[in-house]
Amino acid sequence: MKLKVKLFADGAEKAGMLEMYQNPLISGFTTNPTLMKIAGVSDYEAFAKDILTQIPDKPISFEVFSDEFDEMERQALDITSWGENVYVKIPITNTKGESSVPLVATLSGNGVKVNVTAMFTVEQVQSVIPGLSKGPGSYVSVFAGRIADAGLDPLPIMREVLGLIKDYPGIELIWASPRELYNVVQADEIGCDIITATNSILKKLSSLGKDLNQFSLETVQMFYDDASEAGYTL
């Protein structure tokens, strides 16, 4: 199955990132502080700069982690200096619910490639378009998987966002937080620019288009082999 949507690997585990870097299907990378914590990263800057020596030519997003906008700006300017392929993730608000739209506009206007993250609504995307439209290129990350976790269909929201940005070729939509490989198919079908997914999801790409009868047989074989290896008896 040939995909038009660009595939980004989402993670902060060095070996996994480098494994995906060798995969020609992977076009870029995203990280966040939570993924770094899970991966055991203790020195944020050292980790990022080390990865960038080995992934110098594909877009990679690193996120600010301050809750104050002046400090976010300082961090963003530091992060963007690490490489030409670096995008700086700015959350759409801070933890107080205060909008980061002015900061996004300032950074974008100063030549920073911004990835506006943690967005869930069309209105949030609308608010950042004016500032991003004058920048060097940017991403809007809409958390489709978490929208689905709220019991809502993310597809209408994603389609509406695509309609909003269609006249701004420098702004690309990232389908964020997918829950299963089928989300890649959905993102591709609606014309989403990018989907970012964990290695565990991306490693299932080879199953796209697989014959379901063959898939069924392989599943039966897996159950049989595992029961045999476990030595189960009745």
pLDDT > 90? residue 1: no
Q: Residue 26: left if φ>0, alpha if ψ -120 to 50, beta else—which one?
A: beta
Q: Give the pair of three-digit tokens for residue 3.
A: 């995909």
Q: H/E/C letters for each residue in 193-212?
A: CEEEECHHHHCCHHHCCCCH
Q: Which residues form the catalytic set? A: 89
Number of C-beta neighbours around residue 208 at 10 A: 14
Query: Which phi and psi (to 5°) does residue 9 adopt?
Result: -90, 130
The strand pairing partners of 174, in sequence order, are 141, 194
Model's pTM, two decimal places?
A: 0.96
CATH superfamily of 6-204: Aldolase class I (3.20.20.70)
Give the separation between CA 21 and CA 19, rounded to whole angstroms.
5
Give the separation between CA 226 and CA 82, rounded to whole angstroms.
47
Domain residue spans in the chain?
A: 6-204
Best CA proximity match to 44, nearest among 62, 58, 68: 62
pLDDT tens, position by position, 7-55: 999 999 999 999 999 999 999 999 999 999 999 999 999 999 999 999 9
pLDDT tens, position by position, 87-141: 999 999 999 999 999 999 999 999 999 999 999 999 999 999 999 998 999 999 9
pLDDT tens, position by position, 192-207: 999 999 999 999 999 9
pLDDT tens, position by position, 46-88: 999 999 999 999 999 999 999 999 999 999 999 999 999 999 9
